[in-house]
Structure 1
Amino acid sequence: MKLIILITLVFIIFVSLQFFHTIKQPHPRLIYNLKIYTMKRKISNIFTISAIITTIGFLMDGDVKEPSMTMRFTEFFAMMTMLFLAISAIYLPINSFTKKLQRVRQ
């Protein structure tokens, strides 16, 4: 049963990586589209990192597993959402602040 869950989670992560990394970069003259592209890239990277950390944590969890598959997937996606929000809440403001400092220094 753990093998089936592991294969499913690895497949989900692989598909999400393939989907997000096929986004093509826009024409460099379009600054607005370039900003949107970089935000999509940052958000997709944060999503991928949170999915990987959640998968590792889910596999290392020593608690008794719920018998319901719905509850397992609910726990998995709830943890991934919490990690995504936590990483986003820390990374994006710090990144924005450092970019503003770079503009001020120039």
Structure 2
Amino acid sequence: MRSARDVQCGLQPVVELRKEAASYAYSVRAPRSKGVIPPSSYSNGGFSTLADCLLDVARALGGDFKRIYVRLDGYCVGERDIVELRRGPQEVAAALRAACDAVASAAEAGAAASEANDP
């Protein structure tokens, strides 16, 4: 039988990053299960930059998890290794912001095309 720690290390939490006024915050939850989005199990905020927020995510989760799913401002922006958050938070923040902007632009373009096709 696997220990609770072994099972936990096999899980990959979802980290929801978001801009709140002049600061950043995040929450952590388990991945979707059978279509159900579980509630957040942990949250923290008040970080002046996205990179600072990512460093706190690494500190909070690094002892228990190796990888996370990442959502930024409501958009799925991929997966990251916790070690990346520690070693290069500014680079990871820039990459996540670029991915978020690309996904948001694609979503807006799709919505605009859908509206143009409506009779």
Instruction: Classify the TM-score, shorter chain.
Output: 0.3 to 0.5
Identify, as 1 or 2, the structure richer in helix.
1
Larger strand share, 1 or 2: 2
| Structure with greater Cα Rg | 1
With normalisation by structure 1, the TM-score equals: 0.39
User: TM-score scaled to structure 2, two decimals?
Assistant: 0.36
